[in-house]
Structure 1
Amino acid sequence: MIEKILPPWVASAESFDDPPGVTLFPEEEAVIARAVDKRRREFATARHCARQALAHLGLPPTPILPGERGAPGWPGGVVGAITHCAGYRAAAVSRDALTVGIDAEPHEPLPDGVLDAVSLEAERAAIARLDGGVHWDRLLFSAKESVYKAWFPLARRWLGFEEAHLVFDPSGTFTARLLVPGPSVAGRELTGFTGRWLVADGLVVTSIAVPERPRPDHAA
């Protein structure tokens, strides 16, 4: 599913359950030694997906350890992202991207009060005008998670929910305009991102992939 909203120069793998017998590296075992079963299954399956995605790039299995602010640590020359929610885990990696962000959420309304905490007034007004059939509040939350995951490896600093203004196109794309100064990327200040979204199988998934150099297959 996630591959439908990723460009061909990003490899991915996903799982809709937790396969038994997933083997972790000792360093990964140490990270979750005291974790509850739910967290352990999320962590293990996400690493399983990450190693499958890396294999698509011709890379051998390697530990994927949480780094600063929990961002996964990838092999040299690789960027990527991991996501997990109830009934879904996925990873996306690339050697040809500056950054990648993905997120998955259950396709259902956000809990009461959450939308106000994660959105701007202009965003709430905009999604209120969009057609039904999509839980736009949940999609907005997911897209903001993808924005943060794409932002952090470039900026190495926090980005609040209120620091990016998102606009959705019902065709399956979105734009994110940064409301704070961005880092210099390829000699220019980063001012925002473009991304893709999809609703299927009871899930909403979002993605951002910024290529190292302009590409004809990079969705605007």
Structure 2
Amino acid sequence: MIGRILPPAVRWSHSFGDRDDPLFPEELALVERAVEKRRAEFATVRACAREALAALGHPPAPLLPGPRGAPVWPDGVVGSMTHCAGYRAAVVAPSDEIALLGIDAEPHAALPEGVLDTIARPEEHTSMAALPTAEGIAWDRLLFSAKESVYKAWFPVTRSWLDFDEASIVIAPDGTFTVRVLIPGFAPTGERLTGFHGRWLVDRDIVVTCIAMTGIR
């Protein structure tokens, strides 16, 4: 499913249920006290990530969290992982082909009451109100997912926090969205990161969003 909105340079793997692939000892130590549900999704999304990395020629290795929980990928690789009820996915790409990569998946259902007001800017409320309702898309959930993908693309490059109200997103009905970043953020090369282009898809009652860009803008 996620592959339908990714460019060819990105390798991916997904699962609609949990798997029993073993974890490396270093990974197992991170979830040894977690509940079974958490251990299962943790293991499955890493199995997906190892499959995606294998497509780039990387052997199996532990995938451990770094600062703020972002996965630490092999040198020369950018990647992102996501999991929600009924879906797990991972994507990776060579960093010399894809500079920014972030994905998110969410159940396709309206956000709980009050959540939209905590994540959406005034102009986002306005633009969502103009979106078509005939196809039954949960635009509020899609906005939330897009903001999650934005952060996952932003943090590995800038190493700085980005709050929900520090990015303004415009969703288009054609399966795309655009992002304007409202705070300064810089790549290690010194380039300022000002925005993103993303894509979205709703299928099998799952919302998926992705940002996969070849350069900083």
Same-fold call, TM > 0.5? yes
Aligned length: 213
Give TM-score, length-normalised by structure 2.
0.95
Matches within 5 A, 1:13-92: 13-19=13-19, 21-92=20-91
For residue 192 of structure 1, what is the amino acid of its counterpart? Answer: G
Q: Cα distance 1:174–1:18, how it changes in 2: closer, same or farther (>3 A)?
A: same
Q: Which amino acid aligns with 1:16?
A: F
Distance across 1 between alignment mates of 2:84 and 2:91: 15
User: Within 5 A, what are the aligned runs for 1:33-182?
Assistant: 33-95=32-94, 96-132=97-133, 133-182=136-185
Whether contact under 8 Å (2:191, 2:216) holds in the other structure is no
Partner Cα separation in structure 1 for residue 68 and residue 99 of structure 2: 19
CA shift digits 1:132-178 (9 cap, x unpaired): 12100000000000000000001101100000000011101000000
CA deviation map 1:48-99 (0-9, x unaligned): 0000100111111111011111101111111100000000000000012112
Q: Which runs of 5+ in 1 are unaligned?
A: 215-220
SS at match of 1:49: helix
State the one-letter code of the partner of 1:8.
P
The equivalent of 1:210 in structure 2 is: 213
Matching residue of 2:2? 2
- Deviation of 1:212 after TM superposition, in Å, equals 4.9
SS in 2 for 1:27: helix
**Normalising by the residue count of structure 1, what TM-score does the alignment of the two structures yield?**
0.94
Alpha-carbon deviation of 1:30?
A: 0.6
Deviation of the 1:183 alpha carbon: 0.6
Identity percentage over the alignment?
Answer: 60
Distance in 2 between residues matched to 1:206 and 1:184, nearest whole Å:
22
SS of the residue 1:53 aligns to: helix
Q: Give 3-state SS (helix, strand or coil) of 1:72's partner.
A: coil
| Equivalent position amino acid for 2:148 in 1 | E
The 1:106–1:148 alpha-carbon spacing in structure 2 relative to 1, beyond 3 Å, is same
Q: CA deviation at 1:188?
A: 3.0
Q: CA RMSD in A?
A: 1.4
**Could you tell me how far apart the structure 1 residues matched to 2:185 and 2:210 are?**
19
Residues 10-34 of structure 1: per-residue CA shift (max 9 Å, x gap): 1000000012x31100000011111
Quote the Cα distance in structure 1 between the aligned partners of 2:200 and 2:216. 23
2-structure distance, mates of 1:93, 1:14: 12
Q: Is the 8 A contact 2:199 2:211 kept in 1?
A: yes
Q: Structure 1 pair 76/184, CA: closer, same or farther in 2 (3 Å)? A: closer
Q: Does the Cα contact within 8 Å between 2:52 and 2:91 map onto a contact in 1?
A: yes
Q: What does residue 218 of structure 1 align with? A: none
- 3-state DSSP class of the match of 2:99? strand
